[in-house]
Amino acid sequence: MKNKPKRIVLVALLFLGPILVVDTSIASSGVSLNSMATDSHSVVRPDSFADLVDAVGPAVVSITTRNSSASKKFPDGIRPSMPGDRRPVPGFQRNPEFEQFLHRFFGPGHTAPTPGPRQGRAQGSGFIIDPSGLVVTNHHVVARADEIEVVLADGRTLPARIQGHDPKTDIALLQIDSDEKFPFVRFGDSTKARVGDWVIAIGNPFGLGGTATTGIISARGRDINAGPYDDYIQIDAPINRGNSGGPLFDTSGLVIGVSTAIYSPSGGNVGIGFAVPAEQAEKIIAQLRDRGVVLRAWLGVHIQRVTPDLAESFGLDKSRGALVSKVEPDSPAENAGIVPGDIILGFDGNTVDRMKRLPRLVASATIGDKVGISIWRDGREITLYPVMQPTGNTSQIAAYSTQRDHGPLNLGLLLSALDHDTRQRYGIGGDAAGILVEQVKPGSPAADKGLKRGDLIVQ
């Protein structure tokens, strides 16, 4: 049997019917939980999370969205059809087994319908963070929505609109269209959450409505290649399709994350879920609340990973930092003197231990501030001070290459460190030092400058 491919699944629930809502009542904000006793041999689980769920449950909502596919472009061979239109659609093949299914359950005369206009539906979760009805959810839950409805814990359905959304962190902020006051929850400090801490996830899996699950934090700082600012909390609390946008609570009833994705070979839960940490979500939500969009600081560099071989070639003690492969013209980086070949080791007092940490650090910088950046250049560390500027619509904060190891730079080069094998293959003496050019892309800036395979870059 062939193994099914594993994948990251965004946990919004698509194309389900009406959802069921579990009614809960508003409880006191005080949450009393039995303490956990630990020793070197055992861990005692809390007797119950019922008081906590009663307290926070009324602020958790289900989200239903609708969008009309009639206005979308149809694939080749598919066209809209009106009711009663039985003409065959070119390229659309009928399935005999499906025809038998229709005949068996609906009687003779029923055949497979031809593709026609329909309304797409999606379901997800969210939580209220303000008595005025501000709701946090995931961007992918509402990204294509023409209509949005929020189902409260008491079963009522209210219309909502998008206040703002940020695709890069998959966070969206909605406003319920109502003048009433709503129960709400508060954010906690996700930076204090530790691996092994208990967590409670509440959401709308498979359209069932309010569902609570528990587990622990399995890991911190996970990068699932969903975007440039990945910094997920990994949990083993079961979350499934439809949990997207739901809150992740600590044992004090504070939100420390926003459930976003699961890792699964089949689309179901296997005990690996991911949540956007509250520390990141709060900053995004504050901007969406104030202006409806997110402004980030811009450095203006393209970066790639520093492999062990490249680290050795540059004289670094180990693989760390972010290698600058390109600097945008008139960017903060260029104005501060950063050049291709620099390795960024630190940003504003924070260590850049791996490449993908830099975009997150840059994005969190304050626009207009002069920021100290630690640079490795010519075998020594220097500090430069760019003034951070806001990113434009098309500008990139700190773009990075998805190539692994010796990935080609934007200059069109494939570089490699000098070792015994490469010295023998290219006839390079033992006293020579530098970085070897192993490939030059035709028509690239490197080719235009006359660089060739086998050249040695020494400065």
Range of the domain at 435: 413-457
Assigned domain for 280 exists: no
Same domain, 328 and 380: yes
Output the pLDDT for position 172. 95
Assigned domain for 20 exists: no
Burial state string for 312-342 with b = 16 or more CB within 10 A and e = fewer than 16 = ebbebeebbbbbbbbbbeebbbbebebeebb
Assigned domain for 326 exists: yes
List of residues 6+ apart from 430 with CB closer than 8 A:
423
Same domain, 390 and 304: yes
Same domain, 315 and 346: yes
Query: DSSP letters of 271-336?
Result: S-EEEEEHHHHHHHHHHHHHHSS---EE--EEEEE--HHHHHHTT-SSS-SEEEEEE-TTSHHHHH
Same domain, 360 and 421: no
Assigned domain for 392 exists: yes
| Ranges of the chain with pLDDT below 70 | 1-45, 68-119, 266-269, 392-411, 416-421, 430-431, 433, 458-459
Same domain, 331 and 369: yes
Spatial strand order in the sheet of 413-417: 413-417, 435-440, 456-457
Output the pLDDT for position 19. 29
Same domain, 430 and 396: no
Q: Distance between CA atoms of 227 and 215, rounded to whole angstroms?
A: 26
Same domain, 380 and 427: no
Q: Distance between CA atoms of 280 and 298, rounded to whole angstroms?
A: 17
Same domain, 427 and 394: no
Output the pLDDT for position 395. 37
Output the pLDDT for position 192. 94
Same domain, 327 and 368: yes
Assigned domain for 433 exists: yes
Same domain, 442 and 362: no
Tally of structural domains, the chain: 2
Nearest to 255, CA basis, from 234, 235, 276: 276
- 3-state SS, residue 222: strand
Q: Distance between CA atoms of 401 and 85, rounded to whole angstroms?
A: 50
Output the pLDDT for position 60. 96
Output the pLDDT for position 103. 46
- Per-residue model confidence as pLDDT tens digits over 58-105: 999 999 999 865 444 433 333 333 333 333 333 334 445 445 544 444
Q: Distance between CA atoms of 169 and 288, rounded to whole angstroms?
A: 12
Assigned domain for 137 exists: no
Same domain, 363 and 436: no
Output the pLDDT for position 269. 67
Assigned domain for 380 exists: yes
Phi/psi of residue 216, nearest 5 degrees:
-130, 165
Output the pLDDT for position 78. 31
Element of type H or E holding 134? strand 134-137
Assigned domain for 33 exists: no
Catalytic residues: 140, 170, 244
CATH of the domain at 377: 2.30.42.10
How many Cα atoms sit within 13 Å of 169 on the Cβ side?
A: 34
Same domain, 443 and 357: no
DSSP 30: -
